Structure 1
Amino acid sequence: MDSQAIRDVVLRSLDDHKATDLVALDVRALTDVADYMILATGGSSRQAKALAKYVLEDAKKAGCPYIGVEGLDEADWVLVDLVDVIVHVMVPEARELYRLEELWADPAAMA
């Protein structure tokens, strides 16, 4: 399964389960770690945890490759690693604090 198909599975899952502020960043020109970073917000740590679990479940059903999940215990920031697509599900406070969209959108910010 190519990275665009994985991205689409993830975005559909997050949208279906009411994630907010969905952003898909194409980071192929910026890093070899992944092709896409997907950012989503859950209204609470409970919702962020549930969203990450739904993404993982839907990705597995679709046959997406999977490396791991980090942050499920606290769930303020949960990372789902689907090899070429990395999913960040955050509570609003973490999303505002880390501002990953800004970091990955501006290559100079990472230098």
Structure 2
Amino acid sequence: MPHPRTKLPKLAKIAVDALEDLKGQDIKVLDVQKLTTVTDTMIICTGTSNRHVKALAQNVAEDAKKAGHRPLGIEGEEAGEWVLVDLGSVVVHVMQAQPRAFYQLEKLWTVEEPTTAADAQAQPQPSSGKTVAARKTASRSPATKKTAVRKTAAKKPTAKRTQSKTAARKPAH
């Protein structure tokens, strides 16, 4: 299990237990106190279907209520692909596998600090101020730019097509 039970806050332990009771998969507990003021702990769990995701989220909310922690909000129950249960200091994301893989919340909320001086130097440096689009355009060769212009010019409508379109737009009197 990726989270040591003894170090979990009481409310987080209640949520994890509720998820495990209904066979929630790949449960991750993230301490996000240093990253945001919105919550202290984020729990991410995978459900196998819409119905399973909804049941997991409902179980977390019910167990929290029984322990005296009323949920501040529950979002996404209608669709059941991603349900968020906001318990204040703990936010629980119950997701199906596909949205979880797509959004990768673990990567978004995990900060990996370099362990050695060599790792710190390998970190990406700030950009020179150019936008990504500007860098891509600048890296193109002149031949590529000419080809793009030629392709655009070839797609212009002929005079005959333009006249027929214009005639079709004019209202008949």
- Say which structure, 1 or 2, has more relative contact order (CA 8 Å, 6+ apart): 1
Q: Name 1:35's counterpart in structure 2.
A: 40
Q: Name 1:51's counterpart in structure 2.
A: 56
SS in 2 for 1:22: strand
Distance 1:27 1:107 in 2: 13
CA contact (8 A) 2:29 2:42 kept: yes
> Percent of pairs identical after alignment?
46
The structure richer in strand per residue is: 1
Aligned length: 106
Q: CA deviation at 1:107?
A: 7.4
Q: Name 1:9's counterpart in structure 2.
A: 14
Q: CA RMSD in A?
A: 1.5
Over residues 9-66 of structure 1, what are the superposed CA-to-partner deviations in whole Å (9 max), with x where a residue is unaligned? 0001101110000000000011000000000000011100110001100110011142
Instruction: Find the structure with the greater CA-based Rg.
Output: 2
Distance 1:106 1:45 in 2: 30
Unaligned runs of 5+ in 1: none
Structure 1 stretches of 4+ with a deviation exceeding 6 A read none
Q: Of the candidates 23, 32, 36, which is equivalent to residue 28 of structure 2?
A: 23
2:110 partner letter: A
Tell me, yes or no, if structure 1 residue 97 matches structure 2 residue 102.
yes
CA contact (8 A) 2:61 2:70 kept: no
Q: Of the candidates 56, 60, 71, which is equivalent to residue 65 of structure 2?
A: 60
Distance 2:112 2:82 in 1: 23
Q: Of the candidates 74, 87, 90, which is equivalent to residue 69 of structure 1?
A: 74
Structure 2 length-normalised TM: 0.59
Tell me, yes or no, if structure 1 residue 78 matches structure 2 residue 83.
yes
SS in 2 for 1:31: coil
